[in-house]
Structure 1
Amino acid sequence: MIGFDYGTSNCAVGVMENNTPKLLSLGDHGRFISSTLYAPSRDVIVNWLQKRLSLNEQKNFQQQRQWQLQKGQNSLRELTLDGYPTELSFGQQALNNYLQEPDEGYYIKSPKSFLGASGLLPQQMELFEDIVAAMMSNVKSLTEAALGRSVSQTVIGRPINFQGLRGEESNQQAIKLLTNAAKRVGFKDVEFQFEPVAAGFEYEASLTEETKVLVVDIGGGTTDCSMLLMGPKQAVLADRTRDLLSHSGERVGGNDFDIAFALKGIMPSFGLNSLLKTGKPMPSNSFWQAMAINNINHQTEFYSSANGRFLEQLIRDAEQPDLLTRLLTVQQQKLSYRVVNAAEQTKIALTEQTEQQIDLSDIDNGLTVDLDRNGFAMACKRELNAIAVLMKDAISQANCQPDVVFVTGGTAKSPVLNQFLQQQFQDTPIVIGDHFGSVTAGLTRWAKTIYS
């Protein structure tokens, strides 16, 4: 049995050793593998996956994906004839392959962000299920190699609310996709646990008395808050329903911080906030769409031929056409992920430094952008305020004040966020957990509880 954090930003796996959760090293990726996938062609994902399924599952899969498998086989022949690799890559290697040739192949980051999206066509649902299954198959293989045995039972983390506009319907759609993918690649027993609750379970192991804990999990795609009654007496219970005093969650997470930072910190160098020759402000819609890597519809619109023609017209109408030419380069060479990744890496660097220079000379010769911690705070005001609302909502629902606030998630490392949290809870202790490992550890503890 394993705890499996299929995260928006990273994936991690835990097992129990000597009654303590241990995060496994997943081959060359280490304990955390970025939630990314790169394929030389989108059509070959389904073929890669089929080869890694059990014989029984291969037969079912072939019946369900007959047309896609044939299309993928044709793409594989073309790739082989042209001398291109045909394998999928994951984690950092996937990002490296994308950055080498952004306009070639198929790259996706954080597919979990799309699972609750509304308006998905059946073929899109199948594609996302195959992408998730491929990533899970890779993680499962790495896990079994590390353990030297097969695994068939898992608890997978889930946010309070997946990213979607249809509330519980979006949640059920995402859970169905995750369950189908997990069972397809060989997990016989699949259960889910709320990610903030799992993080709380790990913190609970350190408590010696009953405590009201507000868990704030700022993940890559969502922020989730849970008010939990915790302590030694509660920790041994298999049914924790009475201890879960409240939940709140929304689509605001690390990705949104990165996108906001890219938009407000980097996009002015691409023409945002500039003027047209008429003196009117530059239309901003294409800048939003360019950076919205977690929104299928926005990205589809940005990369459309019609938008390419629109940007060419904007260049002719712009007071500073050189800036808009950079945005057209992003559109033509599919560089949205490249720009947002630059913002993300700067966000990480600003944890230790107060300012950072980004080199974007691959987009325009000599282009650099200077960013600093204050600019990050200004860019992310909306996201910070949304997190404050979620925390207040969880406290209001529980009808009690927390004894302690336990914070986890990669974005929690930011000094900007730490300062913000201190302002919100001036008289309540704030405990910062393992930024990336708390959820995985808690899922692992819960796996032992329900499967033992």
Structure 2
Amino acid sequence: MKIGFDFGTSFSALAVYRDGEIHRIMFDGEPQFRTAIYFPPYAPSADFFNADDHQTEIASIRSALIRSETEAKENYSDRVREERVRVTSQARNDPAGYNADRQLSAKYQRMLSDAIIRIPEPVETTRADKDKQAIETARRQWLESEAGKDRVLGNLEESQLEGALFGNEAVDAYLNNDRKGLLLYNPKAFLAHDLSSRLSAPLERAIGSLFRKVVGAVEEQFQGEQVTGVVIGRPVNFGKKQSDVENDRAISIITHAAELAGMSNVSFMYEPSAASYQFHVSQDTPRKVLVVDLGGGTADLSLVTLGGAEPAPIPHRQQGYLLGGNDVDRELNKKGYMPFFGKGQEVRGIPALNSYFAYAANVQHIEYQKKFIEADLRLVPEPFRERLNHLKKSGNTIRLNRLAEESKIELGRQESRSRKVIDFIGEERGVDIDGAIYADAMARYLEKLKVLLQEFSDEDFDMVSLTGGMSRAKGVKELVERVFPDKDVQSSESTLDVVSGLAIYAAQQ
């Protein structure tokens, strides 16, 4: 069985085409899931500690124990000597301090004896005891070091891969587990990065664990059948540089991840072509179309000929850009929610750490998140400093981003105001986002989209096909109609055009 897999930046979906019908793969009752993977905390077992592999550490610990015991004996002798000097000095100044034999009187003998008893005697251990203590200490240090591998991609253990969660369940598990473990939020955004082999190989395994989960969901829905191949949707460009190097890097990671999940037959289809594939197979007469696929992380524009006798859309020109719904989420976060945390406040005449508010809002960028967490907030006045310190903890930037995303969806449905309660900052406060803030965030998105659309204004075509989640946002269709006033603009109401096309194409291979 071959499946179609829309591996999206924000959300992913799978489908199977059979007997003229598209079968959606359901996840918790929904035909798509959030593209997020969570690996629970690594719990190392002391049974895996091999003392033979740690002889250097054990020898060092044993030497330290010997030194400590020797120092304790010397310290004890010094303390006894000091008490003897102190008591005898007192006795010399007391006529009754010594008896007739020039020995300390009974009073001072008891005083000296009591003082020496109060000095802790050093414990002398055998060599075997020291060896045992050194091994136990080395084992404890190893366990602490192993447990510290959490949240580091290069240190993922097999037990964590097997216990991986995905979708909203992954985000919720991470947030509810005090940010322990590792969360890959929108892992597709990392694929174009120039990662070392130390990170690219674990990233393949991590995404492979997600692919195994979704293959399991397919095979559970289609009992008795096995997934042998997959057609995966891909953007025109994975990275900012729009280079073949970035694209080849991403394709390689996805291919290996799919193979790790047992799908040996892996192929790719451009997402705009997949989104228009149902239209393509339904048209007897060829038609030149500009497909505009607007998703959570990318905007892909593809000029293709659809319909006719060709087995697949004929591409003429394609462009892909890093522009998506995530950009609107980020703007809503910065303009709507960050003022609650102090954005725009003046600190000694300088706007307070404005760059760090941008870092906090950019949850897809690991380095920016790290910079925010490491920010020095000492100059920030209260109550903003306390709120920001809470925002640094336990994945709260992700919580805040989810509120921004929910506000975007609500305000995109003609709502004039979105009210969200922030309850993870040591207090519970409501924050209102109005239509003006949404309009400003969308204006930035639309301004960039207009530039991209205008790159195709000189092309010859007679129809624009709008698809993807952001294609239904306020102002998008109107913008397309202004840029292409003489074109037939068709807007899809489905968010699953890409996976539907992938499924049909997969079934025909």
Equivalent residue for 1:262, pick from 333, 352, 367: 333
Specify the SS of the correspondent of 2:367.
helix
Q: For the structure 1 residues 280 and 339, does the alpha-carbon distance in structure 2 shift closer, same or farther, using more than 3 Å as the test?
A: same
Say whether the 8 Å CA contact 2:291–2:302 is kept in structure 1: yes
1:341 aligns with 2:417: no
Deviation string 1:243-299 (CA, Å, 9 cap, x unpaired) is: 2121111111121221121112111111111211x2332231111111112222212
- Preserved CA contact (<8 Å) 1:29 1:91: no
TM-score (norm 2): 0.73
1:17-70 per-residue CA deviation (whole Å, 9 max, x = no partner) reads 2234332224x25311211122222799xxxxxxxxxxxxxxxxxxxxxxxxx9
Structure 1 counterpart of 2:492, which letter? G
Instruction: State the 1:172 CA deviation.
Output: 1.0
AA aligned to 1:272 is: K
Which range moves more in the overlay, 197-206 or 174-183?
197-206
Change in CA separation of 1:154 and 1:178 when aligned onto 2, cut-off 3 Å: same
Question: Within the alignment, does 1:36 sit opposite 2:36 as a pair?
Answer: yes
CA contact (8 A) 2:211 2:257 kept: yes
Task: Give the match for residue 436 of structure 2.
Answer: 374
Give the 3-state SS of the residue equivalent to 1:252 in structure 2. Answer: coil
| Aligned 1:50-449 pairs, distance under 5 A | 75=147, 87-118=163-194, 120-148=195-223, 149-165=225-241, 167-234=243-310, 237=311, 240=313, 243-276=314-347, 278-304=348-374, 307=375, 310-311=376-377, 313-315=378-380, 318=381, 321-352=382-413, 353-396=415-458, 399-400=459-460, 402-449=461-508
**SS of residue in 1 equivalent to 2:233:** strand
CA distance in 2, matches of 1:9, 1:201: 22
Partner of 1:22 in structure 2? Answer: 23
Distance 2:363 2:456 in 1: 29
Distance 1:302 1:105 in 2: 20
Q: Relative to structure 1, is the Cα distance of residues 407 and 281 closer, same or farther in structure 2, using a 3 angstrom cutoff?
A: same
Name the TM-score, length of structure 1 as normaliser.
Answer: 0.81
Secondary structure of the equivalent of 2:338? helix
The worse-fitting range, judged by mean Cα deviation, of 422-431 and 258-267 is: 422-431
Distance 1:161 1:191 in 2: 16
Contact 2:16–2:23 under 8 Å retained in 1:
yes
Q: Which runs of 5+ in 2 are unaligned?
A: 45-141, 151-159
- 2:216 partner amino acid: S
Cα distance between partner residues in 2 of 1:382 and 1:76: 41
Task: Look at both structures and tell me which one has the larger radius of gyration over its CA atoms.
Answer: 2
Contact 1:3/1:441 (CA < 8 Å) preserved in 2? yes
Please say if residues 248 and 393 of structure 1, whose CA atoms lie closer than 8 Å, have aligned partners that are also in contact: no
Is the contact between residue 291 and residue 303 of structure 2 (CA under 8 Å) also seen in structure 1?
yes
Q: Which amino acid aligns with 1:407?
A: L
**1:77–1:176 CA distance, 2 compared to 1 (3 A):** closer
Shift of 1:348: 1.2
Deviations 1:84-128 (A, max 9, x none): 9x933221212222332443332222100111123x232221232
Q: Which amino acid aligns with 1:433?
A: S
1:412–1:435 Cα contact (<8 Å) kept? no
SS in 1 for 2:12: strand
Q: Give identity over the alignment, percent.
A: 28
Q: What is the distance in 2 between the residues matched to 1:42 and 1:372?
A: 43
Deviation at 1:77, TM superposition (A): 13
